[in-house]
Structure 1
Amino acid sequence: MYLILIFLHSVIRWLVFASLIYATYRGAKGWLTKASFSKTDDAVRHITATFSHIQLMVGYILYFNSPFIAYFLSHFREAIKQFEFMFFGMIHISLMSIAIVLITIGSSAAKRQETDLDKFKTMTIFYSIALLLILIAIPWPFSPLAARPYMRIF
Structure 2
Amino acid sequence: MYPTLLALHSLVRWLVLASLLLAIIYAYKGWFTNKQYSRSDNIIRNIATSFAHIQITIGLFLYYLSPLTTYFLHYFKDALHQREIRFFGMEHSFIMFLSLVLITIGSSKVKRLTDDKQKFKTMAIWFTIGLVLILSSIPWAFSPLVSRPYFRAFF
Whether these two folds match at TM > 0.5 is yes
Runs (4+) of structure 1 exceeding 3 A deviation are none
Contact 1:95–1:133 (Cα < 8 Å) also in 2: yes
Per mean C-alpha deviation after superposition, the further-off stretch among 5-14 and 74-83 is 74-83
Q: Which residue of 1 aligns with 2:55?
A: 55
Do residues 25 (structure 1) and 25 (structure 2) align?
yes
Q: Which residue of 2 aligns with 1:132?
A: 132
Do residues 109 (structure 1) and 114 (structure 2) align?
no
Do residues 3 (structure 1) and 11 (structure 2) align?
no
Q: Distance in 2 between matches of 1:19 and 1:126?
A: 14
Q: Distance in 2 between matches of 1:144 and 1:33?
A: 40
Do residues 92 (structure 1) and 88 (structure 2) align?
no
Do residues 34 (structure 1) and 31 (structure 2) align?
no
Extract unaligned runs of 5+ from structure 2.
none
Q: For 1:11, give the aligned amino acid.
A: L
Q: Residue 145 of structure 1: CA displacement?
A: 2.8
Q: For 2:29, give the aligned amino acid.
A: K
Q: Which residue of 2 aligns with 1:69?
A: 69
Q: Residue 75 of structure 1: CA displacement?
A: 1.3
Q: TM-score with structure 1 length normalisation?
A: 0.98
Q: For 1:8, give the aligned amino acid.
A: L
Q: TM-score with structure 2 length normalisation?
A: 0.97
Q: Residue 144 of structure 1: CA displacement?
A: 2.5
Q: Distance in 1 between matches of 2:143 and 2:19?
A: 22
Q: Which residue of 2 aligns with 1:15?
A: 15
Q: Distance in 1 between matches of 2:94 and 2:34?
A: 35
How many equivalent residue pairs? Answer: 154
Q: Distance in 2 between matches of 1:111 and 1:14?
A: 25
Contact 1:87–1:145 (Cα < 8 Å) also in 2: no
Q: For 2:4, give the aligned amino acid.
A: I
Q: Distance in 1 between matches of 2:55 and 2:10?
A: 9
SS in 2 for 1:22: helix
Extract unaligned runs of 5+ from structure 1.
none
